Amino acid sequence: MKLKLSSLRFRMLLPVIAMTLFVVALLTVLFSRAYTSMILQQEQDENAAGFELVSRSVTPLIDSSIAEVQSVLTDSRVASYARREYSTAAQLVHARISCRDFLRGELSRQDGIFGLLFMRPDGSMFGALPEGNFFWDDPQQNPLSENIRSQILNVPLGQTIWVGPISGASLYGFENGKTPQTIMIAAWKSVDVRYGDLYALMLMDDSIFARLFSTLQDGRSTWHLFTADHMEIYHSGEGGCLEPERMITESNSGSVFRNEHGEAASAFSMAMSSPDWVLVREVSMENSIQVVSRVRSVVFITAVAVFLVALWIYRSWLKRFMQQFNTLLSGIKSMGQGDLEPIASGPFTIGEFETMHQEIDRTSRALNEQMNTIRRMERERMEQENRIKEQERIVEELHTAREIQMSALPHTFPPFPERTEFELFASMDPARDVGGDFYDFFFIDHDHLCLVIADVSGKGIPGALFMMLSKRIIEDAARADLDPGEILEKTNRSLCDNNQAGMFVTVWLGILELSTGRLTAANAGHEYPAIGKNGGGFKLYKDKHGFVIGGLEDVRYRSYELQLAPGDKIFVYTDGVPEATAESMEMFGVERMTAALNTNPDGSPEEILPTVKRAVEAFIGDAEQFDDLTMMCLKYKGPQDGTGTSGAEA
């Protein structure tokens, strides 16, 4: 018993320990997040000022440099050499010297401009760089890459583009202490009657930004300037960015991350519009992380001290409580042995024991009732699980029935690749797992194609079974006769003989003579077909309806004829299309259906059916589909010639 009491005492201490550790961890995490958010908010305020200064300074600085370079084009020495109209080698040398001296002087007084180059449409170049002047008369000597060269030659007149960055060594062919690693090229096309087309190239190194960004240095920030494709143009500090895409992605995320050097940092970015660059400010968060670490240590030590004091107080209280519990337990054991004297140690008395006994007795009855309730709930749970399993079995059977039903319908398109007299496409989307609609098409003989679309009165598995029966009977009757009316009469007699379920089916059946385009059809209570003439739109053809199949015996059905010309189309459907209903209880209707058909009347059947389906889905919105959507469209292309192609194609 003492071991049990010791175990009980330990188990009562565990929740206190766990709760204390949880509170300590929660306080530490909350403080870390709050402090980090405060630091990042302060950095946002500094970003606003820095980004404002850069956005107000970079564009005017670059524009003024471009304007100064554009003025160089007006000088006659540049124009003279650009023409290259020299009768003698001496004149060519003189022109080069004159152009060289002028460009060297222009370059020496332009702050931040690394060089001035000019490129002709044939790719030949001339200009000035700090290490000398260059005159690449042969286009093959052009040191620029094919990609950069094609971008410059394609720049529209009056527009400036930025290409690069490239290294100075790619221009010289060598590298020394004066060669910058990063050069941006501003290029534009200038047309002058004195020398025709010419492409001006202003080479700008990162020194143009050094003075601007020097005013923004605070000992914690590193500024990066990237092109639109994440290539670094400029960076303050000692090292460039090794992972530009990660830096830009992490920027403005409001989080602290480890950069490529393993240091804690946060980043903020701004997209520039002119030029199309991205400015990123990377801020070191090492000091802030150290502050958070120190405060965490203080919080942890303080929490441990408070926890130890609270644990000592709680243990003292628990010790007194266990002493009273032991006294009560001893008294109960004594009473169980026949000693009915009051418990010696207060506050427990015989009256309190009787009260406790009554409470225990009442608790026992309550527990017994609770157990009965639990057993009843367990039975109900098992019954519910059985019902769910039964529903799942039914759903699985419905799914299997749907697959069987869909496999019974033609679903390979084009269905007859070797036949070029027509194009055919059909689809069925059941409102439930299995539906009552069906379509079918098959050759009665080499020259007659039978088309069928039908709608059974029921849904679910009964409708699907009646559908399969109707489809089989129609196909058997059609293969024995070429008159649609007689085919429907035979089908009606067969279904009426054993129609104990009282179901019926609406049918439109047509037989197309492929050699002539003559369509013979009959309608048993089905929707009107839509005819699309070649070069025109779709219109409903209001044919004469007969009575539904399976409703009455000895019903006569009348056939009618249509003449299809090459390029004509026929569209048949079930009532699920015009009767599709939106949440407002408004139906889609044949007018909207005809309008959907005429959005692309010249399209192929495979394009027309999805167009109608999308129009229906857009109309009903979130409303539930309550009827099957079944459609079939045929385009008549004309009879085959001797080569196996249709007359319309020939």
**501 lies in the same domain as 564:** yes
Cβ distance 36 to 261 under 8 Å? no
The token duo for 432 is 């439930």
**41 lies in the same domain as 77:** no
Cβ distance 619 to 625 under 8 Å? no
Report d(CA 18, CA 32) in Å as an integer. 21
What CATH code is carried by the domain that includes residue 474?
3.60.40.10
Q: Rounded to 5 degrees, what angle do the CA atoms 646, 649, 650 make?
A: 85
Report d(CA 33, CA 19) in Å as an integer. 21
**429 lies in the same domain as 503:** yes
Nearby residues of 445 by Cβ (< 8 Å), 6 or more positions away = none
String of DSSP letters for 429-447: E-SSSS-SEEEEEEEEETT
Within-domain flag for 440: yes
**363 lies in the same domain as 318:** no
Q: What is the mean pLDDT of the chain?
A: 80
Within-domain flag for 334: no
Strand, helix or coil for residue 572: strand
Report d(CA 217, CA 212) in Å as an integer. 10
**277 lies in the same domain as 308:** no
Q: Determine if residue 587 is left, alpha or beta; phi over 0 gives left, psi from -120 to 50 gives alpha, anything else beta.
A: beta
Within-domain flag for 338: no
Residue ending a domain, among 384, 404, 424, is 404
What CATH code is carried by the domain that includes residue 172?
3.30.450.20
Residue ending a domain, among 209, 235, 250, is 209
**496 lies in the same domain as 589:** yes
For the chain, state the CA radius of gyration. 45
Within-domain flag for 643: no
Q: What sign for the dihedral angle of Cα 581, 587, 589, 591?
A: negative
**60 lies in the same domain as 152:** no
Least confident of 154-163, 288-297, 535-544, 561-570: 288-297
Q: Give me the half-sphere count of Cα atoms (radius 13 Å) on the Cβ side of residue 482.
A: 12
Least confident of 114-118, 438-442, 474-478: 114-118
Within-domain flag for 644: no
pLDDT band at 265 (very low <50, low <70, confident <90, very high): confident
**540 lies in the same domain as 617:** yes
Element (H, E) at 427: strand 422-429
Residue ending a domain, among 164, 192, 209, is 209
**Residue given tokens 């009165």 in the structure block:** 457
- Structurally, the chain folds into a number of domains equal to 5
Within-domain flag for 580: yes
Which domain range does residue 365 map to? 349-404
**415 lies in the same domain as 384:** no
pLDDT band at 106 (very low <50, low <70, confident <90, very high): confident
Mean pLDDT to the nearest integer, 258-278: 77
287 CB-contact burial (10 Å; exposed 0-12 / middle 13-18 / buried 19+): exposed
Tell me what percent of the residues of the chain surpass a pLDDT of 90.
27
Q: Higher confidence at residue 2 or residue 253?
A: 253
**266 lies in the same domain as 177:** no
**501 lies in the same domain as 391:** no
**489 lies in the same domain as 592:** yes
Within-domain flag for 335: no
Nearby residues of 434 by Cβ (< 8 Å), 6 or more positions away = 398, 401, 402, 405, 459, 460, 461, 463, 464
Within-domain flag for 414: yes
